[in-house]
Each structure stands twice: as structure tokens, then as C-alpha cells.
Chains A and B, each alone.
Chain A
Amino acid sequence: MIPIQMEINGQTIEMEVAPDLSLLDLLRAVGVDSVKKGCGEGDCGACGVLLDGVYVKSCLILAAQASGRRVETVESLGNVEHPHPLQTAFVEAGAVQCGFCIPSMLLAARSVIEAHPEPTVEQIKEGLDGNLCRCTGYVKQIEAVQTAARVMKEEDHE
């Protein structure tokens, strides 16, 4: 067992984990179950988190590797009372169907907007390439990211 400590959505945890435990399994074990397991091989992208602000697939990272670092999941974006512009845009655009891919895709989308505050369709497609969705055909999700980027830019100016 390996002792680790990390900050998850602003809360620090300390525990001992098996050396082969993935960050995904750790997060789910401590109750952060917005992070989904769709394949466990880094293909589907349902397990994405921000690790020190960088979007990564948590099934491909060992919990021990994330020790001493900051992990953010969709809960850090917003909630029903104070949704993030991306969450609002996804809801209003009809970009959410079964929803399994959505928490992770929102984090990937945030990274897109961080890198490109006024993203083109091509930049959004590239940014969401690692987040498989079987329901929507991605059309409304791309629209939602564009809408959110506009809203975030306006909020920046306020």
C-alpha cells in the first residue's frame, strides 16, 4: 500500500492505496461518481478530470501518480444553483441525452475554451475528439461550447 494525499474538488484526502489503483477507481471509491467508467482503456473519455488544471483521462493515471496534486471533476464547475456557462449551454442546447459522457465532456470543453477563448468549430471538434458520445452526433454539443465561450467572454468583460 502507498500513502497518498490529494485535493479533490477543494477537499484534501489522505489514504493508503494499492499501487495499481487507478485515479478513476480511487475517485469512485471516495464517492466522486460523476467520473464514469466506460471502458477503462482510455478510449471512451467518460472518466476525464482536471489534474492540476490539465484535462486527463483518470483511468490511465494511477492514484499514486496523482498524489500531492489537485483533482477537479464536474462538481467543481458548478451546481444547479450556480451552473457554469458550459453546463447552462449544454442543458439549453439539448446537448445532453443519456448523459453518461457529459460530466467529462464538460471538463474537456472547458479546456478547449481555456486554450481558445473564441474556439472555431474545428478547434472544438479536436478538443472533444477523446470524448465519445453515442447519442447526440456531437452537433448540439459543439453549438453549446460555442455559446458558452461567448457567454464566458461577455462575463469576462463585466
Chain B
Amino acid sequence: MTHPGLDSGAPRPDAATKAMGRARYCADVQLTGMLHGVIVASPVASGILSGLDVSAAEAAPGVVAVLTAANLPGNNRVGLIFDDQPLLVTDRVRMAGDRLALIAATTLEAAQRAARLVKFTIDPLPGVHDVRRALEPGAPLVQEQGNLLKEFFVKRGAPQTCRDADLVLEDEFVIGGQEHAYLETQGTVAEPQPDGSWLLHSTTQCPFYIRGRVARFLGLPISRVRVRQTVTGGGFGGKEDYPDEPAMCAAALAKATGRPVSLILPRDQDMQMSTKRHAMVVRHKLYASLSGRIRGVEVQVLVDAGAYAGLSTVVAERANISSVGPYDIEHVSVLTQVIYTNNLFGGPYRGFGAPQVAAAHEAQMDRLARAVGQDPFEIRRINGVSAKNPEFTSGEALPQAHLYGKLLDELEEKSGWKREKAAIAAAREADPGACEGIGLATIIYGVNLHWGGQRLDRGGAYVLIQADGTVNAAVGITEMGQGALAAMRTICAAGLGIDETRVQITEVDTALVPDSGPTVASRATVSGGNAVLDAVRQLNERLLPLAAGKLGLSGPEGVVCRDGVYSHPSTTVTTTFNEVVALLYGRRQNPGALGWFMSPEREYDPATGQGRAYAFYTFGGHVVRVRVDRATGLVTVREVTAAHDVGKIIHGLSAEGQVQGGVVQGLGWALSEELKLDAGRLKNPGFTDYLIPSSMDIPERINIVFLEEPEDQGPFGAKGLGEPSFISVGAATLNAVSHALGRDVSVLPLTPERVVGLARPDAEGTP
């Protein structure tokens, strides 16, 4: 049963402001005396900066400051986990987009003109551009300590004992990266305050990260740096850690000039410099019996980190544990290697490494199905986690393992799988040239932070009841478009028993709410929502006894508030929320509460990948129906069915929006979005030839199944949905195209050029 007040159908709180054109994004912040900052960046990916002359730029009209590594007024360090990246290049250039100089001028045009006057010489060095060769002896070194940044493992059972298995399926999957393509580019307006403290207005998912790194840059305590999140025009992981870099640049220029500086990246720089979904090579080997039961899996994942660590190791940690899929398999060996190259800067992106490895494990599942003559759904039932076989790759017995089978049943039904497969087979019978296909993929995902990051898996919220019975709530998790504010408002209102329009939610201000960790990992609803509920619980402990008194009861047990009215089954007397709040104020009781959430402490052994990797998990899956034009290579997606184990729907419109948006973004990654590199330089840094889906590219139908079985750790039982909505789309599309072409496919994205190649009768690979 749904708790009253959830999924009321009310529009999200920020929608009207945005639809009226009144929302203020980072570039809309205008301050008196504000300067405009630009970055001068290296066009080459590997070399030595041997000459840098900024004198002409300094003399250009309107220019107020030019900064290089030599006069940078702060700590020239970027690294969040590893100290391997300067803010401005001192000598070594490691990626195209490395920053050489910063310029602040009175107008953006003046700053841009001055940027063209900076003279630099970079003596080229050989670079590393193929992650498969980066660890070979003699490969050029991206970082002095070597190109292998870190390794992650799963060691479970003894895969070597499987070598006599009936079937061994082995392949190498080459999976492309992806540009986030948030419509609002990265940026910060840095505003020095009269008292020497700082206020930053930033487009970001993680204001607390910006605060920390800007404070480190300026050499200030974190209480002296305040970050206010501006309305954020999309994130998708791209605004997790990367926004700290333009923020540090803006702060540097503001420090040097003593004036506010707005630094907004132009699209081409944003695409070249900022983090991307990692390109990965996944070597996947599967041992199975003729019954279709998998005995063992061996996986090697090569993660192309680019030239700097950023959060690549954190992404790889998730790819590592996700690389087998939602299956209970006795013998598992995974080696995940995070490797430096001179390619694009790898980082967080919706799914955090899971979509890439899912493409491999789900392609392998379909190949196994074909090899043993089983249906793709059936092969997943045989191997999937279940109440009987509940152990995930990490060795954890999953309390909700039974939901995987349920999800398969609902996905099969809703997608019309059997009917569609029969129709495709009949069409082929009639016309052997017909090229239609259908593909399935499923995933398991920890919708919270991995054991390695559990210290950040927390959340805070401040809830304040005003004297007129309205409520202000400040939360530490961010709205980036996904609907977090709507979810927080609904949770707060439902917890108090009042109408959600009474609750005003405030976007993050780091001076007002506790550091709630990053808004990533699909954890906003759970970490923010639980924090809100903790505050609400404290407030209800004060309100309910007062309400009980009004109802003539001796104690608060059984008193509930619904739609702003308190009642109890034993009496017809009621009282309103406003009356009780008036009493609270009349008695001078504290009308505010700071709520807190932390996920449970977990044990995990990184040497074996065994233990409790995540606090809890969700299952998800997609069925994708395609038509392939063999002549042009064009893949048309006719229908997608998405199924998600969401625990509980908090705000239905937003949940559906996440699923629809995730599907279309996933189809973009799978079919059209290709990062074309020339020695590490992006050849398509714009939407002219980096093709994200438009309205013309969407499927005819997107069907949605939500499984609602509450998760004990979630607010009202809710889990997260932001990333699962994306993760298995690419894998299902790969399987659908493979089905249509009648041959193995081991690569993403499936651009028309590639599909034409795969469709040729003489193309390599088993039909």
C-alpha cells in the first residue's frame, strides 16, 4: 500500500519557474564589477611546454589578469584522490585540453581576443592512445610512476577448475566512451567577499567537492568558502568532480583581480576538457555446461582513464564488481585495470562503469543462450540470482534476490517478447533479407556508494516549520534536473502529513547544510530522503504529543496527520497542523530539526572483491526492438521496454521521466554518439558531428514497468533509479542488433559505418 501523500501527481516544484524562463543558471549570474574568464588550453595531447609568452595578452584591451603556473595565486594541484594533475601546466602536457593560462577581462569578447594572443611552444612527445598497448614494455609514460594506476579484483571460487566445461565462450569487447552533453556547460562565478571569505555560484552535482578543492586552492578553512548551487542544467555524472576545475580557475582569477569572475566553458572546450564516460576494453570468458548453467567467469576490464586519475579508480571499482551481472556464479575471477593514456579524461557518467561491462556480460549471456538452444530470458532465469541462489558476485546473499526473477517475468510480459520474436522469425521466413531484431539485457546495481566510498554515504537535511504552518527544508543533495527537489518535497510533506505545496525546498548552500556527500550513484532519494525523514521524525516527536493533547488523548500513540489534519481512531475530535504548530510556537519549542542519514557500516575485502560491496541493490532490465538497414547501417529503434525494481515510487512523473530520458540517452550511446579522436584530440567537439538523439531519433514506444517491493533502508521503501534507467539500454541494443544481423557483435557504439561493416556477408565473426 502506498503511504498517503506519495506520488500525488503534483508537478515538480521547479517546473513552472523553468517553463516561464525565470530559472537562473550559472551564466545568468551577473555581479557588479564582474569579469569574464577564459582558459587557454593545449591543442596537443603529449609534449613539453617549452615556451609560454603572455605579454601580448596582458597588453590587450580590457584584460585585467593573465595567470600561468608561474604566477598562479594558489595551490597548483587538482587531484581529488591522486596528486597527479596541476591546475595549470608547469612543463609536461598530458592531454589535449590541459590548461596553459587563464585570462580575466572586462568582457568575454576581450578575454577571448586576448586568449588568441597567448604564444606557446609545445615540443611533442609520443603519446599512448590505445589502452591495450599502454602497459606494454617501452610504451611512453603518461605519468612518471607508470601507466598502471590501480587494479581491482574479484576472486571467488576457483575458475581454473572450470577449464573442462562443456562450453567456453570468449571475446573481447571494445566499448566506446560518451560525452555527457548536459545542455548547460560547466562554469562557476567566483565572488570574493568583503571579509575575505568566498562565495561561489556553480553549476554542479557536488557543491561540497567544489568547496573542498577551492578551499585547498586558496589555502582557506572550508568554513570560509561557501558554494551555492545555481539551477543546474543537467549533470549525468559530468558535474560530479569536474566542476571543481573551472571553479578553481574562476577563484584564481578572482583572487588575482579582487573582482568577481564568471568562467563559463564554451561547448568545444567543455567537450575536450571535461570528463567522459570511460572507453573500456572488456575481455570476457564464460564456462558453462550444456544445460546452460554457468560454472565460472573470467573477466579482464581495461579502463582508459586518460591522463589523470580523477575519479577513474572509483568508477573502476564499480565496473569491477558489476562485470559479471545479476547472476549467481560459483567461480569468478575479475581483474580491472585502470590505465593512464593521453586520451580524453575519463570520469563519472550515469552508470559509473556498469554500462560498459554490462554490454559484455549481456552479449555473452545471449551467446550462451544460442549455444545451448535456450531463450535469452530462460538463460537468465537459469543463472540469475534467486531466493534459492541469492549470492551476488561479491559473495553477499541478497535479501531481495527473488525480485530478479519477478523482474524477468514482468519484462517478458510487458515487452511482448514471445510475440515479437515470433513475428521477427515469420518475417525472416517470408523474406530472408528482413533485418529486424530484439534484444534483452538485465543488470544489478548498488544504488548507493561502494564500500570504498562508504565514508561519504551520508546525508543531511534541515527542516524548519514556520509559524504559519509552512515549511522550509534545506537539503544537502542536489537537483540537476532529475527531480530530487520534488522527491524531497514529497517525502517531507508525506512524513509530516501535510500538502506538499506547503513545503519550500532550498537548493544546496554549503554554509547551511551538512556535507551530504556527492549527489551520485542514484543515491539522492535514499540519502536525502532519509535525512529529511529523520528531521521529520524529530519534529513529529514534538508535534504529536501536542496534537494528542488537542484530541484529548493522554499520549501520541496512534495519532496521525493526513492532509494537515490530526486524528485518532478513538475519537471524532480532530485538530489541524496549523493549530498544532501555533501551540508549538506558543510554547517556544524548537520548530527546526537537523536530520541525518548514514548507510550501514560494511565489511569488504578489496583483495578478493568479497564482502558487502553496497548497502543494497536494485535490478533493472531493457528489451529493445530494432530494424536494421543493411545498406545504410542505420538502426531504427521501434520499441523499448524498461523494467525497474524501484522499491517505492515517490514522484511518479519524475520516475517516468528518468526512465524515458535514460532510454534515449542510452540509445544515443549505443548507436550514434562516437568520440572521434586524433592522437587524443577530439575531432568532433560539438553537436554538429557528435550526435545526441533529437526528437526524431526516439523509439515509437517506451513501455515502463515499475516493481514496487519496499527496500527497508529506503525512505518509504524507495530505491534509486537515475542510473539503472540507462545501464542496460546499450547492452540490450547490442543484443538486438546482433539478433537482427544474425551474428556476434562486440563493439559499441553501433554507428552506421560499423553496422554496414558488420552486415557485409564476408565480415568476420560467427553468424
Q: State whether B687 touches A135 (Cβ < 8 A).
A: no
CB contacts under 8 Å to B, within A101-151, are 101-103, 106, 124-126, 128-142
Q: State whether A83 touches B267 (Cβ < 8 A).
A: no
Q: Which residues of A contact B19 (CB under 8 A)?
A: 74, 83, 87, 90-91, 96, 99, 102-103, 106
Q: Which residues of B contact A130 (CB under 8 A)?
A: 694
Q: Which residues of A contact B696 (CB under 8 A)?
A: 125-126, 129
The yes or no answer to A100 lying at the interface (CB within 8 A) is yes
| Docked complex Cα distance between A103 and B660 (Å) | 21
- Tell which of B12, B16, B183, B698 touches A100, judged by Cβ atoms closer than 8 Å: B183
| Docked complex Cα distance between A53 and B18 (Å) | 22
Q: Given the known A-B contacts A97-B661, A100-B234, are A75 and B15 also in contact in the complex, defined by CB atoms under 8 Å?
A: no
Q: Given the known A-B contacts A73-B21, A96-B19, A102-B19, are A41 and B267 also in contact in the complex, defined by CB atoms under 8 Å?
A: yes
| Docked complex Cα distance between A33 and B233 (Å) | 14
Q: State whether B660 touches A139 (Cβ < 8 A).
A: yes
| Docked complex Cα distance between A135 and B688 (Å) | 19
Q: Given the known A-B contacts A80-B16, A132-B692, are A100 and B184 also in contact in the complex, defined by CB atoms under 8 Å?
A: yes
Q: State whether B267 touches A40 (Cβ < 8 A).
A: yes
Q: State whether A91 touches B695 (Cβ < 8 A).
A: no
Q: Given the known A-B contacts A38-B185, A137-B698, are A74 and B481 also in contact in the complex, defined by CB atoms under 8 Å?
A: no
| Docked complex Cα distance between A155 and B505 (Å) | 34
- Tell which of B11, B14, B21 touches A103, judged by Cβ atoms closer than 8 Å: B21
Q: Which residues of B contact A133 (CB under 8 A)?
A: 183, 695
How far, in Å, is B30 (CB) from chain A's closest CB?
8
The yes or no answer to B41 lying at the interface (CB within 8 A) is no
Q: Which residues of B contact A57 (CB under 8 A)?
A: none
**Total contacting residues, chain A, CB less than 8 A:** 53
Q: Given the known A-B contacts A38-B183, A39-B686, A44-B183, are A98 and B481 also in contact in the complex, defined by CB atoms under 8 Å?
A: yes
Closest Cβ neighbor of B21 among chain A residues = A34
- Tell which of B184, B688, B702 touches A139, judged by Cβ atoms closer than 8 Å: B702
Q: State whether A134 touches B236 (Cβ < 8 A).
A: yes
Q: Which residues of A contact B25 (CB under 8 A)?
A: 36, 100
CB contacts under 8 Å to A, within B713-745, are none
Closest Cβ neighbor of B184 among chain A residues = A100
Q: State whether B698 touches A138 (Cβ < 8 A).
A: yes
- Tell which of B185, B695, B702 touches A128, judged by Cβ atoms closer than 8 Å: B695
Q: Which residues of A contact B267 (CB under 8 A)?
A: 38-41, 44
Q: State whether B660 touches A136 (Cβ < 8 A).
A: yes
Q: Which residues of A contact B481 (CB under 8 A)?
A: 97-99, 135
Q: Given the known A-B contacts A38-B185, A97-B483, A99-B481, are A137 and B20 also in contact in the complex, defined by CB atoms under 8 Å?
A: no
| Docked complex Cα distance between A38 and B656 (Å) | 25
Closest Cβ neighbor of B19 among chain A residues = A87
| Docked complex Cα distance between A73 and B22 (Å) | 12
Q: Given the known A-B contacts A34-B21, A37-B27, A46-B183, are A134 and B234 also in contact in the complex, defined by CB atoms under 8 Å?
A: yes
Q: Which residues of B contact A141 (CB under 8 A)?
A: 695
- Scan A55-94; emit 1 where CB is below 8 A from any B CB, else 0: 0000000000000000001110011100100010011111
Q: Of residues A97, A103, A137, which shows the largest number of chain B Cβ atoms within 10 Å of its Cβ?
A: A137
How far, in Å, is B7 (CB) from chain A's closest CB?
12
The yes or no answer to B373 lying at the interface (CB within 8 A) is no
The yes or no answer to A43 lying at the interface (CB within 8 A) is yes
How far, in Å, is A74 (CB) from chain B's closest CB?
4
- Tell which of B480, B664, B695 touches A131, judged by Cβ atoms closer than 8 Å: B695
Q: State whether B21 touches A74 (Cβ < 8 A).
A: yes
How far, in Å, is B116 (CB) from chain A's closest CB?
14
CB contacts under 8 Å to A, within B280-296, are none
Q: Which residues of A contact B232 (CB under 8 A)?
A: 98
Q: State whether A138 touches B11 (Cβ < 8 A).
A: no
- Scan B12-55; emit 1 where CB is below 8 A from any A CB, else 0: 10111111111111011000000000000000000000000000
Q: State whether B661 touches A137 (Cβ < 8 A).
A: yes
Q: State whether B185 touches A79 (Cβ < 8 A).
A: no
Q: Which residues of A contact B686 (CB under 8 A)?
A: 39, 41, 43
| Docked complex Cα distance between A103 and B11 (Å) | 17
The yes or no answer to B323 lying at the interface (CB within 8 A) is no
Closest Cβ neighbor of B688 among chain A residues = A43
| Docked complex Cα distance between A90 and B20 (Å) | 10
Closest Cβ neighbor of B694 among chain A residues = A129
| Docked complex Cα distance between A100 and B23 (Å) | 9
Q: Which residues of A contact B657 (CB under 8 A)?
A: 94, 97, 135-137, 140
The yes or no answer to B654 lying at the interface (CB within 8 A) is yes
How far, in Å, is B17 (CB) from chain A's closest CB?
8
Q: Given the known A-B contacts A83-B16, A134-B234, are A140 and B660 also in contact in the complex, defined by CB atoms under 8 Å?
A: yes
Q: State whether B183 touches A96 (Cβ < 8 A).
A: no
Q: Which residues of A contact B539 (CB under 8 A)?
A: none
Q: Given the known A-B contacts A34-B21, A83-B16, A87-B19, are A43 and B687 also in contact in the complex, defined by CB atoms under 8 Å?
A: yes
The yes or no answer to B231 lying at the interface (CB within 8 A) is yes
CB contacts under 8 Å to A, within B240-290, are 266-267
The yes or no answer to B181 lying at the interface (CB within 8 A) is yes
The yes or no answer to B182 lying at the interface (CB within 8 A) is yes
| Docked complex Cα distance between A93 and B21 (Å) | 17
Residues on A lying within 8 angstroms of B by beta carbon are 18, 28, 33-34, 36-41, 43-44, 46, 73-75, 78-80, 83, 87, 90-94, 96-103, 106, 124-126, 128-142
Instruction: For the complex of A and B, list the 7 residue pairs with the smallest distance between their C-beta atoms, beginning with the closest.
Output: A34-B21, A98-B481, A99-B18, A94-B653, A100-B233, A137-B664, A43-B687
Q: List 27 A-B contacts (CB under 8 A).
A: A33-B28, A36-B25, A44-B267, A74-B20, A83-B19, A93-B653, A96-B19, A97-B482, A97-B657, A98-B233, A99-B18, A103-B21, A124-B695, A125-B695, A131-B694, A132-B181, A134-B182, A134-B183, A136-B660, A136-B661, A137-B657, A137-B661, A137-B663, A137-B665, A137-B702, A140-B653, A140-B656
